[in-house]
Structure 1
């Protein structure tokens, strides 16, 4: 009999991959100096982990919030925005992790509940191979992206499914921390509707959309792509990114993004 992951275990796997992806992207896109990172292995693949406690803690809190919303089946996209480290905070690149939910919203378990699918789930033995392929594609993504030429920072944008409530962590609901998410500016959210052109093909006059990987996780599908914005290619505009509105302390957001 297949050994399927439970619903909560599947979400945990997706969250763990996002954490590895975020650390690796901050390194390979040179958002922070290389000396702040160390090389580690995950899914049998070399990747990068930030050694700065404050940044690691921040990313952990962000992903804890993302995981809470994913458990509700409320997340459509998680977007790592690389943007100019300036007052304009112009978005230059967006790494988009888009989720397709294969179970109806009514079947999403209530808080504290869980279930194991009877078929079409993610088998325990497939986790390593699936996320290894995702991480390899992510590591190679810089090879077809043009260089970022200016000082940059980043933000995490969370785009919710239609009809979902605004994201709010349990800690914020209980009053232990301030609200972590605020509505994001439209320009920070992904512009593509998921049906755009292929790798390196222009989505408008200058911007490009490059698919990286699609993976089936049983109860959900995850599609990964990178968008280079038109502003990145404008003459006189250096490329990179800073913090958009959407997450704890580094906040700023189709559909409804936070």
Structure 2
């Protein structure tokens, strides 16, 4: 897999995760710092345990992307019983046709990432609720061989992997966020509201 795609995707997911936590009011606003990314203000949590969890997940994402086995990632905001309230879904597809010189300077990619961040701010208001004690979980949809190789990788061993049964869940509605192309891959982003 293209290293540029991997680097940009992992960086984008880090920004997305922290902003979902901020706009979803999973943690109080005072534990976030503001930064500029993609020419807009974004948020980053200062809590070391939250950052450790997110960074560990992102290492796993990077490993799956390198192997070409990550198909879908779900960032679920959960209630106090750890049941998902809402899922932010990132779906990855390899394009069969890719023009090498298309968006060579990544201008369109940056515009799409900026649009995602701005859209996130407005769309979260559509399902905000007053549930206290929210938390979050990150689900990686990959294959079994990838899961096994990550579990024996010494760089990833401190992070536990739990296989989840393949089951279909109904959701009340799906709200699309953004679809964009990046170095021969498509990333679809949408929200599943429970």
- TM-score normalized by structure 1? 0.67
Q: Which runs of 5+ in 2 are unaligned?
A: none
Of 133-142 and 176-185, the range deviating more from structure 2: 176-185
Larger proportion of helix: 2
Residue 224 (structure 1) aligns with: 189
Partner of 1:159: 141
CA distance in 2 between counterparts of 1:176 and 1:97 reads 22
Q: Aligned with 1:63: secondary structure?
A: helix
Q: How does 1:233-252 map to 2 (within 5 A)?
A: none
Q: Is 2:173 the counterpart of 1:208? A: yes
Whether 1:76 aligns to 2:63 is no
CA deviation map 1:164-198 (0-9, x unaligned): 524257684238734531112556xx747xxxxxx
Q: Which runs of 5+ in 1 are unaligned?
A: 1-5, 105-116, 193-202, 230-258
Alignment-derived partner of residue 50 in structure 2: 55
* 1:38-66 CA distance string (max 9 Å, x none): 11111001111001122112211110110
Moved over 3 A (4+): 168-172
Give the alignment partner of residue 154 of structure 2, picking from 165, 171, 174.
174
The structure with the greater share of residues assigned to strand is: 2
Give the TM-score normalised by structure 2.
Answer: 0.87
Give me the CA root mean square deviation: 2.6
Matched residues in 2 for 1:137 and 1:228: separation?
16
Assess if the C-alpha contact under 8 Å between 1:101 and 1:221 holds in 2: yes
* Count of aligned pairs between the two proteins: 193
* Conservation of the 8 A alpha-carbon contact between 1:172 and 1:180: no
1:22 aligns with 2:17: yes
